Amino acid sequence: MMEINGRTRTCGLIGNPVEHTMSPAIHNTLAEALGENLVYVPFHVPEGHVEEAVQGAWALNLLGCNVTVPYKSRVIPFLREIDPLAELIGAVNTLVRTKDGFKGYNTDMPGLYRAMCEDGVKIQGERALILGAGGVARAVAMLLAQKGAEQIVILNRTVEKACRIAEEVNGIFGRAAVTPMALSDYAKLPSDGKYLAVQATSIGMYPKVENAVIEDPAFYQKIHTGYDLIFNPARTRFMSLVEENGGRAFNGLKMLLYQGIIAYELWTGAQVDEPLAKRAYEAMKKAMGLE
């Protein structure tokens, strides 16, 4: 057990709610393993107090913070600087202390990419589907386009939202990478080859674990790999349907792990190798009661 003393640095999580966060399990495991005099704690920030939270974290000499819902975009005006990727995505989940204030980063998408690489999932040249058209889906579309997916189809109930993301991403990357499609039109997807699919909605999240955006097995027969960004439950209805129809399926737990690891590396300058990443992963699963 590490000793807390006058030299202990603090990192934390700004959000509302924060009671169910798994981040302390990741960061405190890393700090202990690397011999860093650092502790990580969650901070519940009430609605309307984001600016004071950022100023308070700075005044209290915090080394850095993670930011979770609903403040990932709202925190941006109170930062000294923002990393280009976070600016592109329009959301910040990591604050890193600089000499003049906090710099905002987004480690969610690099975390997802690192998780995909670890799971042996490639993006370059792939045909991809994204279920949903919220902020997370937008960020996933940016990642897939940046990493060279050949085609990206966004399926959403409100097709206008998918259109807006497609227009924006295609404009940024200068190619017609993203196609919007109404969710109800999923049967029109070509069957010549299979897709990488990312489930970016909250459907199927605990406690409504029996739900999936699409139930039709014919849809899942078109998927070779399904990524559900939900991590509670660890096995979602979407994942079951992918596997039942011959595909591989993953949840969002490794994305959560690697976004945390990348944040930790930004704060401390440490390099987290795979054995240590696995140790943090086990600590996180234990904290979730998944062992």
The answer, yes or no, to whether residue 2 has pLDDT greater than 80, is no
> pLDDT value at position 150?
97
pLDDT at 227: 98
Is it the case that residue 1 has pLDDT exceeding 80?
Answer: no
First CA to last CA across the chain, in angstroms?
Answer: 22
Segments of 202-289 assigned E as strands: 223-228, 248-250
- State the DSSP code for 246: T
- pLDDT tier for residue 153 given thresholds of 50, 70 and 90: very high
Average pLDDT over residues 115-127: 96
Q: pLDDT band at 289, cuts 50/70/90?
A: confident
User: 15: which 2 tokens?
Assistant: 């959000």
Token pair belonging to 151: 């085609």
291, pLDDT greater than 80: no
CA 238 – CA 220 distance, rounded (Å): 9
Per-residue pLDDT at 176 exceeds 80: yes
Higher-pLDDT residue of 154 and 291 is 154
Cα of 160 vs its chain's centroid, Å? 24
Tokens representing residue 136 in the block: 């997370």
Mean pLDDT of 105-134: 97
- DSSP label at 4? P
Second CATH level (architecture) for the domain 110-251: 3-Layer(aba) Sandwich (3.40)
Catalytic residue among 72, 103, 222, 254: 72
SS3 content of the chain, % helix, strand, coil (to 5): 40, 20, 40
- Give the model confidence (pLDDT) of 259-271 as tens digits: 999 999 999 999 9
What is the overall mean pLDDT for the chain?
96
pLDDT at 268: 98
What is the tens place of the pLDDT at every residue in 47-73?
Answer: 999 999 999 999 999 999 999 999 999
Q: What mean pLDDT is predicted for residues 150-178?
A: 97
268, two tokens: 């401390």
Residue type, 82: I
In the chain, the DSSP E strands lie at 9-15, 38-44, 64-67, 81-82, 94-97, 102-105, 127-131, 151-156, 178-182, 195-199, 223-228, 248-250
Q: Taking the C-alpha atoms of 217, 116, 275 and 260 in order, what is their torsion angle to the nearest 10 degrees?
A: -100
**pLDDT at residue number 191:** 86
In the numeric block, which tokens belong to residue 178?
């993203």
CATH 3.30.70.20 fits 9-106+254-287, yes or no: no
The residue written with tokens 């990932």 in the block is 72
**DSSP-assigned letter for residue 202:** S
Q: Tell me the mean pLDDT in the region 177-206.
A: 95
- pLDDT of 75 reads 98
Percentage of the residues of the chain whose pLDDT score is greater than 70: 99
Q: What is the pLDDT of residue 290?
A: 81
Q: CATH 3.40.50.720 in the chain: give the residue spans.
A: 110-251
Q: CB burial class (10 A; 0-12, 13-18, 19+) of residue 248?
A: middle
**Res. 192 pLDDT band, cuts 50 70 90:** confident
Bridge partner list, 227: 198, 250
> Is 72 considered catalytic here?
yes
pLDDT at 31: 98
With contact defined as beta carbons under 8 Å apart, do 26 and 283 qualify? yes
Residue 18 has pLDDT above 90, yes or no: yes
Cβ-contact 101, 130 below 8 angstroms: no
Domain with CATH 3.40.50.10860 in the chain: 9-106+254-287
Q: Which of 111, 18, 118, 101 is nearest to 64 (CA)?
A: 101
